């Protein structure tokens, strides 16, 4: 009772915003930029006053798998390894540990998640920048920054809209904007992407690997109210100075198709060329007023985010301090405002990286500036995949978990049935620790790394018995997995029930 009374007397602050009084740094992009996302598309504006850089991602852009080798097998062996299982099992029961190397699969062409591109918005060299501030509203998913040069002040906003399937970036000035150059950049050298400009749109189109690599396309369509002329020059959109407002609509896609990750489709995971759909999506969104795009986004995002609210006291007036300062200064016994902010930020990141139709959040959620991020930014079934979903059902985001179940059904079950038979002579299906988006369900050699003292046992996921008698996802169009699961063969003696 006394704790409740004390809390009631403290000032309450709604911890729903990140903010800074300085731009982010590309050298430390992940921790200094503010992330945006609509599940499929991700963007990280740095807030640089002169040449702004917005890092772009799309959830399905991976190299490797069948987009690098037509013989890709998901790491599965060519012949059964199940004969080795009885000896491995008995040794483990007798000694507590064992050598499972006979079951390990090879992982050539496992692949990696990778960055899509950088959108650059170049306002030229600006000196004597004053009154700088940038922020991210966690309730609405809208980024904003503002700075002044002399008498003129520039305001910029960005968001990634689920209803319209695009990210949107807007510049406006109380006087007039300088000349602005807008371009898409990608540092991939082999094969080098093709960057073109026409109809006030910059398009970046390429493959992740020569010949059979995954196709990807990013498009930035520029809208300048009252200006209808073609502004393309030197593969960039170049807007002359004197404008009051510029709106940039970003769309992207790949030819990855998880529904083609089965034997009937040759485990190709290959869909149609993304170019036409990207063009259509960008054109339709660019034809709408900015206010309409923003309103639809905010209504959608806020209606989900506001499904759960946590409000803790702000005893140290922390809301008035930049986020980086709060994190740096955070020590025991803690700060309720910072804890509230981190709670809100976790929900925000999940909502931004998991929406129906997307892949589930990977090890980095949705965001990376690298071509080879740590651990391939893949999926780990030992704990990381679960951690990304901790607290989701309990905090109003249960409707956004469909990407996980679809990912399991389309990428684990088909190859996982082969893995169960080849490694354990078991019916049903199985997966192990490390997974990509191409059905890698084999037992990885990573489980044998020095210092790893556990046996990398199969994940018993096929039966989904967390909710007996119910669908895997209640009220979902998704069916329950067929065939049950492969028993934890390493942990079960013959005839022993689990």
Summarize pLDDT for 293-349 with one digit per residue, the tens.
999 999 999 999 999 999 999 999 999 999 999 999 998 889 999 999 999 999 999
User: Cα–Cα distance between 485 and 417 in angstroms, integer?
Assistant: 9
Rg of the Cα atoms in the chain = 25
Q: Label residue 475 by pLDDT band (50, 70, 90).
A: very low
Residue 298 DSSP SS3? helix
Which of the pair, 377 or 456, is modelled with greater confidence? 377
- Asked if 360 and 388 count as a contact pair (C-beta separation under 8 A), the reply is yes
Phi (first) and psi of residue 20, to 5 degrees: -150, 155
Residues 368-373, mean pLDDT to the nearest whole number: 94
Summarize pLDDT for 169-222 with one digit per residue, the tens.
999 999 999 999 999 998 776 789 999 999 999 999 999 999 999 999 999 999
Phi (first) and psi of residue 159, to 5 degrees: -160, 160
DSSP 8-state assignment for residue 362: B
Phi (first) and psi of residue 6, to 5 degrees: -60, -40
- Asked if 206 and 186 count as a contact pair (C-beta separation under 8 A), the reply is yes
Average pLDDT taken over every residue of the chain:
88
Q: Is 96 left (phi over 0), alpha (psi -120 to 50) or beta?
A: left
CATH number given to 19-62+114-289: 2.70.98.50
Say whether pLDDT at 485 is over 50. no
Tally DSSP H helices, then E strands, for the chain: 10, 20
Residues 79-87, mean pLDDT to the nearest whole number: 93
Residues 352-379, mean pLDDT to the nearest whole number: 97
User: Cα–Cα distance between 473 and 467 in angstroms, integer?
Assistant: 9
Reading the block at residue 410, the tokens are 């389309």
Say whether pLDDT at 401 is over 90. yes
- Give percent of the chain with pLDDT exceeding 90: 77
Q: What's the pLDDT score for residue 73?
A: 95
User: Cα–Cα distance between 349 and 343 in angstroms, integer?
Assistant: 10
User: Cα–Cα distance between 134 and 123 in angstroms, integer?
Assistant: 17
pTM over 0.85: yes
User: Cα–Cα distance between 269 and 114 in angstroms, integer?
Assistant: 17
Say whether pLDDT at 463 is over 50. no
- State how far the alpha carbon of 41 is from the alpha carbons of 165, 166, 180, in Å: 8, 7, 24
**Domains of the chain by residue range:** 19-62+114-289, 76-109+400-491
- Give percent of the chain with pLDDT exceeding 70: 86
């Amino acid at each position: 009772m006394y704790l409740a009374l004390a809390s009631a007397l403290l000032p309450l602050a709604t911890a729903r915003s990140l903010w800074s009084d300085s731009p982010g740094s590309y050298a430390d992009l992940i921790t200094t930029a503010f992330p945006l996302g609509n599940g499929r598309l991700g963007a990280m504006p740095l807030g640089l006053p002169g040449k702004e850089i917005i890092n772009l991602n799309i959830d399905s852009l991976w190299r490797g798998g069948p987009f690098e080798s037509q013989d890709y097998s998901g790491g599965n062996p060519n012949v059964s390894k199940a004969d080795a299982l009885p000896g491995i099992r008995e040794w483990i029961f007798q000694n507590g540990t064992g050598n499972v190397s006979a079951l390990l699969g090879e992982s050539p062409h496992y692949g990696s998640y990778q960055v899509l591109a950088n959108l650059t918005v170049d306002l030229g060299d600006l000196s004597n920048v004053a009154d700088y501030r940038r922020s991210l509203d966690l309730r609405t998913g809208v980024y904003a920054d503002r700075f002044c040069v002399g008498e003129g002040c520039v305001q910029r906003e960005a968001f990634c809209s689920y209803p319209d399937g695009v990210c949107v970036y807007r510049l406006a000035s109380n006087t007039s904007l300088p000349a602005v150059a807008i371009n898409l950049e990608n540092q991939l050298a082999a094969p080098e992407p093709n960057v073109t400009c026409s109809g006030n749109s910059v398009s970046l189109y390429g493959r992740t690997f020569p010949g059979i690599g995954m196709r990807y396309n990013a498009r930035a369509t520029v809208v300048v109210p009252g200006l209808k002329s073609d502004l393309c020059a030197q593969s960039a959109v170049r807007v002359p100075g004197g404008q009051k407002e510029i709106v940039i609509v970003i769309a992207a896609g790949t030819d990855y198709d998880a529904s083609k990750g089965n034997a009937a489709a040759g485990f190709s995971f290959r869909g149609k060329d993304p170019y036409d759909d990207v063009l259509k999506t960008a054109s339709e969104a660019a034809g709408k007023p900015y206010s309409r795009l923003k309103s639809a986004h905010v209504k959608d995002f806020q209606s989900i985010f506001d499904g759960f609210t946590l409000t803790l006291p702000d005893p140290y007036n922390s809301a008035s301090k930049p986020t980086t300062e709060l994190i740096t200064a955070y020590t025991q016994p803690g700060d309720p405002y910072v804890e509230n902010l981190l709670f809100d930020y976790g929900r925000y990141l999940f909502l931004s990286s998991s929406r129906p139709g997307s892949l589930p959040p990977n090890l980095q959620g949705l965001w990376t500036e690298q071509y080879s991020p740590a651990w391939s930014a893949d999926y780990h079934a030992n704990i990381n995949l679960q951690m990304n979903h901790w607290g989701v059902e309990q905090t109003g985001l249960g409707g956004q978990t469909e990407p996980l179940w679809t990912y399991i059904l389309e990428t684990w079950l088909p190859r996982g049935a082969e893995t169960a038979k080849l490694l354990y002579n078991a019916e049903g299906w199985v997966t192990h620790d490390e997974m990509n988006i191409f059905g890698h369900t084999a037992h990885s050699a990573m489980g044998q790394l020095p210092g790893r003292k556990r046996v990398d046992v199969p994940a018993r996921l096929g039966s989904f018995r967390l909710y007996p008698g119910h669908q895997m996802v209640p009220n979902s169009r998704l069916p329950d997995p067929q065939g049950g699961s492969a028993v934890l063969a390493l942990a079960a003696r013959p005839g022993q029930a689990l």
